Amino acid sequence: MEKLISGYLFPEINKRKKALLEMNPKAKIISLGIGNTTQPLTSHVVSALKEASVAMGTKEGYSGYGDEQGLPALRKKISETLYNGTIGADEVFISDGAKCDIGRLQLMFGHDVSIAVQDPSYPVYVDGSVIIGATGKSKDGQFEKIHYMKCLPENDFFPKLEKKTDLIYFCSPNNPTGAASTREQLNELVEFARKNNSIIIFDAAYSEFIKDKKIPKTIFDIEGAKDVAIEVNSFSKTAGFTGVRLGWCIVPKGLKYSDGSPVINDWNRIMTTVFNGASNIVQKAGLAILDKKGWKETKKLIDYYMKNAEIIKKGLDEMGIENYGGVNAPYVWARFPGKKSWDVFSEMLDNAHVVTTPGSGFGPAGEGFIRFSSFGNKEDTIEAMKRVKEIKIMKK
């Protein structure tokens, strides 16, 4: 744990926000920073939560410990609605969220593994690997034993697959770049993993933000993926469950260690030993998200956030700022050639009172970029882009 640079990114952002507020106590700061949802739960989901709560107060409706693997009805529903039945209900493990599942996967794979991550990437892939002891020392912002795969506009945000590793963390639609990998790219990824006996940990947390029907929403849409991939996903962004906590992990039965033993057996043991099931009340709400009425409302919620992404992109386009993502993903990735991420961040905070996330916080290849999140209110997003335009700081 000593190796870990102690939580640099978000505390530093908060420190700079605080400094601004001390200088300028009346500043109305708008956050397009962290990917935190802001819109209420849909009415159908609220009804389900209420119903589940009331039932727990009755003799007939009360339930204690459920299966650690999740409510059978929810496992089945996810299998049927989100995977079209191609993934078995018994391959779906319900959890309290993707971040927590990633931590448990790292526990399962232990410290004796080599790892590849996209650069830039969601910090937990690396931080969790450091904690479990799978990495070496840190040097120039990179850890030994982790292979950083550069994802830049120049390679269409799809890395050159060259180094064989035991695990490959891969996130699409991507956080932070907003890039959604095409079928061809994912084919290449799966083929590479098959050739090298690697296991892909595929983070599909933003899959429901994909609009383009040609882009796969799950790695298991790719032939051969069931032998090499695990998928984590969650209702956090899809249904505004960031605080409610509900996710899932798919471990296909066909996925095996090099000695031929199935990974799913170990995962089952991990889930039954260090986890005790997601909240039963929350799992009932998960069922509501996936029924006809709930799904319709959920789609509207997604549309709302994707309108914000449009507003952000339009604003950046009008300023002539190079930007990516925001079409099949809720993040917009803006480039400022020749500038440092933190400098752009500070300019925007100090002059427009708008919080973003410095790209360099997601890995060395994020330097010179800034991430905009579309999870704010529409009004705030419009106001933020207006302010940014007025100060013109972002012009090249």
- If one asks whether residue 6 binds a copy of itself (CB under 8 A), the answer comes out as yes
Work out how close the CB of 146 gets to a copy of itself at its nearest, in angstroms, rounded to a whole number. Answer: 15
- If one asks whether residue 138 binds a copy of itself (CB under 8 A), the answer comes out as no
Contacts of 1 (CB under 8 A, 6+ apart): 130, 131
Q: Which of 22, 23, 26, 57 is the binder for a copy of itself (CB under 8 A)?
A: 57
Beta bridge partners of 357: 371
- If one asks whether residue 137 binds a copy of itself (CB under 8 A), the answer comes out as no
- If one asks whether residue 39 binds a copy of itself (CB under 8 A), the answer comes out as yes
Site residues for a copy of itself, window 85-104 (CB under 8 A)?
A: 96-97, 99-100, 102-104
d(CA 360, CA 135) in angstroms, rounded, equals: 20
- If one asks whether residue 382 binds a copy of itself (CB under 8 A), the answer comes out as no
* Phi and psi torsions of 217, nearest 5°: -90, -15
Query: Is residue 157 left, alpha or beta, with left meaning phi > 0 and alpha meaning psi from -120 to 50?
Result: left
Contact assessment for residue 79 and residue 88, using Cβ atoms and an 8 Å cutoff: yes
Q: How far is CA 246 from CA 71, 216, 274, in A?
A: 12, 22, 17
Work out how close the CB of 340 gets to a copy of itself at its nearest, in angstroms, rounded to a whole number. Answer: 26
- If one asks whether residue 309 binds a copy of itself (CB under 8 A), the answer comes out as no
Q: Which tokens is 334 given? A: 């803006």
- If one asks whether residue 73 binds a copy of itself (CB under 8 A), the answer comes out as no
Neighbours of 278 (CB within 10 A): 25
Neighbours of 393 (CB within 10 A): 16
215/306 with CB nearer a copy of itself: 306
Contact assessment for residue 251 and residue 230, using Cβ atoms and an 8 Å cutoff: yes
- If one asks whether residue 135 binds a copy of itself (CB under 8 A), the answer comes out as no
Work out how close the CB of 1 gets to a copy of itself at its nearest, in angstroms, rounded to a whole number. Answer: 5
Half-sphere exposure of 292 (CA within 13 A, CB side): 0
Number of residues that bind a copy of itself (CB under 8 A): 68
- If one asks whether residue 20 binds a copy of itself (CB under 8 A), the answer comes out as no
- If one asks whether residue 270 binds a copy of itself (CB under 8 A), the answer comes out as yes
Q: Which of 106, 135, 181, 198 is the binder for a copy of itself (CB under 8 A)?
A: 106
d(CA 176, CA 10) in angstroms, rounded, equals: 14
31/185 with CB nearer a copy of itself: 31
Integer Rg of the chain from CA: 21
Contact residues for a copy of itself, defined by CB under 8 A: 1, 4, 6-7, 34, 36-43, 45-46, 49-50, 53-54, 56-59, 61-66, 96-97, 99-100, 102-104, 106-108, 110-111, 124, 127-128, 131-133, 240, 242-245, 265-266, 269-270, 272-282, 375
